[in-house]
């Protein structure tokens, strides 16, 4: 199955963690050789719940590096 991840690259989400989350995701996808389209998007006004990202159409909020790995394991390899 082809997966998709959309990560918010708006300045608030980016500063609050998606800068780092993006690197973690890129590394994770490469390591596990996953078929996944990774794309960025702009702010959708939900900055207060950020950093935000969407995995396979499902939105996730306040994604920190620790929960991100668990999330990727669950959603992409679960
Ligand atoms: S910067 Fe991500 S929702 Fe605003």
Please work out whether the CB of residue 46 comes within 6 Å of at least one atom of ligand 1. Answer: yes
**Measured distance CA(45)–CA(35) in Å, rounded:** 29
Complete domains list, the chain, with CATH: 3-77 (3.40.30.10)
Residue 34: band (very low, low, confident or very high) from pLDDT cuts 50, 70, 90: very high
Q: Is the pLDDT of residue 22 over 80?
A: yes
Q: Please report which confidence band the pLDDT of residue 78 belongs to, taking 50, 70 and 90 as the band edges.
A: confident
Q: Residue 1 pLDDT > 80, yes or no?
A: no
Q: Which atom of ligand 1 is nearest to the CA of 52?
A: 2
Determine whether the shortest distance from the Cβ of 9 to ligand 1 is under 6 A: no
Average pLDDT of the chain is 97
Question: Of 66, 18, 76, which is closest to residue 44 (Cα–Cα)?
Answer: 18
Does the CB atom of residue 17 touch ligand 1 within 6 A?
A: no
């Amino acid at each position: 199955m082809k997966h998709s991840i959309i990560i918010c690259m708006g300045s608030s989400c980016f500063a609050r963690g998606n800068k780092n989350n993006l690197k973690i995701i890129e590394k994770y996808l490469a390591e596990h050789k996953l078929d996944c389209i990774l794309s960025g998007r702009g702010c959708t006004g939900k900055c207060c719940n950020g950093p935000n990202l969407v995995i396979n159409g499902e939105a996730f909020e306040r994604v920190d590096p620790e929960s991100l790995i668990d999330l990727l394991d669950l959603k992409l390899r679960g």
